[in-house]
Amino acid sequence: MGFNRNPAGKQGEKQESSTDPTQFIMAHGVQNTPSLGSAVVKRPVKRGGQFGPRIKGDGARRAPSKPLQVAYFHAMPCLPVLKPMPTLLFMSALVILSTQCRPEEDPHVVPEIRFPIDISKDETEANSTFEFPIVLNQSTSRDIMVHYETRELTALEGEDYIPVADSLVIPAGTATASIFVDIVVDDYMEEDEEFRVVLTGSSNATFAGGIQEAISTIRNDDSLFPISGGGYMSASSYPGKTLVWSDEFDAGSIDLSNWTYDLGANGWGNQELQNYTSNSENSYVDDGHLFIVARDEGTHYTSARMKSIGLQEFQYGRIDVRAILPKGQGIWPAIWMLGANFPTSGWPACGEMDIMELIGSSPNTVHGTVHYGADWTQHNYTGGGTSIPWTETFSDEFHVFSIDWTPSGITWLLDDQPFYSVDNAVTGSQPYPFDNPFFFILNIAVGGQWPGYPDATTAFPQFMAVDYVRVFQ
């Protein structure tokens, strides 16, 4: 609010004017300074009925009356008394003083923290530390503090990564910082695994889009599986028998004098899904064990089917195979034998002895079976199964799967305990094929009429680890 002369009206009329005191002062100057919240009007002395100073002794007015000078000051208690001064100098001083006297405004901006949604890296020595960048959308004149911690998903603290719970400071004037998490690097085949880095709080900043969490995926590029040597171990000798052949898988690679491969993807008569390969990703030897690995390749499955046909063939004996088995819906591992005359006689006339079969959806039960018949139309089979406690699976540790094969019949054993037998009359009127040499087959099938097919619960890769194959006669 303010007062001014009416330049167009009669002298003394009150007119509305600008309430900005600085505009009034710029126009008219000021001679006296009021106290807080007051307005001062300096009026000339009235002499002779006229306003305006008179020239001493001549009785006449020297000049017309100067306009009323009014200054209104609001919330400026610290302004000193001002004396007349040039307008420019006065205004400069006024700006300085008013700046000093106003309540201080917060000059700091509040930046947004931008955090990655996902980081994926291979588990290698070169990537043993994962970096999670934190970026501000703009720097500020204050330090930014960010609190964070790691949390488990499928990756486990201490086993797959080193947990952290800490804070970091983004110094004033900068806009970036990083969180570092150390990864536990190993050589073992695992599923890709995930953990979270969570921003639990911050000072002097907000979270862009509310994003306070990054998911880190440890992509596994290893070829080895973590196994222990625990489990059952069979005898190294038996009374009245001699070890005539074994493969202990200690050579560091697959012994091609003992094993060759079945290759292809024709379903093998069981409507299986896998493509059998001789690739090292599907079969290899490591640390004294043969590994057969079934993989999900995205558009198809791969696995290995190893056989000793034409290389190692046997008629009768005690046969021990120590192995860890895979599990999961649609997974079908087998340790079995076919008659060496298979190329000429065909199946089932050649005979089939299944030392061990497992259906992955029942991972604590194994089966022993014989198949026979003069031809396809007369195929028949018989067999039995055994189970370990339901709280355990055959993928937990090693077990020994055995047959005791004699001219009079076949007995199946699990960890030296018999669970099923047949005699040489088992085939009835059909030819008895189990008095001929047989060769070994080791494989993992994916899908098929008996096990069914993989579903969302089936984890890949799946492996069978074989410690040894031994034949005593």
Catalytic residue list:
352, 357
Sort strands 313-314 and 317-324 into parallel, antiparallel or unpaired: unpaired
Element (H, E) at 23: helix 21-28
d(CA 138, CA 208): 12
For residue 267, CA distances in Å to 273, 274, 275, 376 come to 6, 7, 8, 17
Q: Are 447 and 330 contacting, i.e. CB atoms less than 8 angstroms apart?
A: yes
For residue 272, CA distances in Å to 294, 342, 350 come to 12, 21, 22
What is the dihedral sign for C-alpha 266, 269, 272, 277? negative
| Closest listed residue to residue 150, CA positions, set 214, 193, 218 | 214
- The type of residue at 246 is S
Q: Are 219 and 179 contacting, i.e. CB atoms less than 8 angstroms apart?
A: no
Phi, psi of 377 (to 5 degrees): -70, -15
Rg of the Cα trace of the chain?
47
Q: Are 139 and 174 contacting, i.e. CB atoms less than 8 angstroms apart?
A: yes
The answer to whether the bond into 461 is cis (omega within 30° of 0) is yes
| Closest listed residue to residue 130, CA positions, set 179, 73, 168, 164 | 179
What's the full length of the chain, in residues? Answer: 473
d(CA 180, CA 89): 58
